[in-house]
Structure 1
Amino acid sequence: MAEKYESDPELEKKMKLEKTDEGKVIDIKGTSSGKKEEMEAKMKETKAKMAEKKEDMSSKIHEVKKGAEEKKEDVKSSLEDVKKEAEEQKEKLEKESEEEGLTPAEKILNDIVNRFKQGTGQINDAISDYTEDESKNLVEKPLVDVMETNDTVTIIADISGLKKDDIDLGISKNRVEIIAMFKDEPEDEEIKFTKKERSYGKTHRKIMLSSEIKVHEAKANYKNCTLTIVLPKTVEDITKVNID
């Protein structure tokens, strides 16, 4: 007859326990359940973060798409403005060409030639005070001599072919300016200069003085194509002091 053994609660409890390498006793079933809950919590947290990143990425993509649409509209508007301006310029050119009896191409070429002529005229005005002598050195016009004594400064300028009304003279304490208005050069397009030494248009000569002069006592005379300017010098007052 087999022997009956009564269940021992302590023995069953020991069977549920296991020793670690360090000798500590852990509850296998309790630990597994805890790890499962921890893993589920981490997975849930990871899913939440991924959802947030996905939403953030969608928001950024939406912003980029919106910015691209706005730029597209700006470019389209700019192109329309350029197209409109081009049409207006075309209509203006056609109208002006018809008024002048030219084709649009002839009108454009004519405008280019006129602008070139204007630019050449401006350059000539800028260098009207100068001309090249035979040694190719730049010489200011009108030509002047400046002579000085203890009391006066005398300037003699050669200005031919003008009346005194065509000459403007400006004097300050240390400078003299001579402006001469010559006749304009020939405008005939068939004329080409092979040598050009005479003055045309306005010439402006500035002469700096080494001494201060009495402006209100200055005198000028224009005779036989020669302008003579006499400038009295300013003399400093010297007070004599007695020595004790």
Structure 2
Amino acid sequence: MTTSTALAQAAPFSTDERDAVYKAIHTRRDVRDQFLPDPVPNEVLRKLLEAAHHAPSVGLSQPWNFIVIRAQQDRDRVWRAFQAANAEAAEMFEGTRRDTYRALKLEGIRKAPVNICVTCDRSRGGKVVLGRTHNPNMDVYSTVCAIQNLWLAARAEGIGMGWVSIFHDADLREILGIPERIEIVGYLCLGYVDELYDRPELEVKGWSRRLPLEDVIFDGKWQGEA
């Protein structure tokens, strides 16, 4: 008796398909301010979430959930929580660095028509999850993969996305009703944009720069600082 196994062909993409993948990767940007008010159609949002849901996950546990926030009053509450944390963050920098930080426009929460809070349910899959036995953080890493899938799909659809990380965890839990056992991984702002920076915004505005690839590749063993 033979057992048939469904296998997909692993042939390379066509040249145009490969170019499209790399274009999405290299032109993806963290959008902070330049969102348009145009609504994101439900069918497009569904496609983006479907892309996120097709991310790899440890033990096929799929630990993510996506809380979609559209109502202006809800986004305003989240923005106020962000503003409080952002004021605290500014005080952690000094001199011109603080001034540069304060000059960055971070209005995505209120301007983007769709916000998504991405969470990780660390109990999904049970106490012992294949692939997580010796690294308990693999479920969180899997959830980050889902966010990256969503980000690249959004870029392909002409939708900008920003990842907001300046929050007190407890504030988001209260506003969105997230239980303590659930890990908050990312708060995302999505909306159409009419233009994107040709380089990361923080590079354009002098905050940092992309490191040369050669500086982050080690051959065979660790070669950085001990």
TM-score strictly above 0.5: no
Could you tell me the TM-score, scaled by structure 2's length?
Answer: 0.21
Could you tell me the TM-score, scaled by structure 1's length?
Answer: 0.20
Higher normalized strand content (fraction of residues): 1
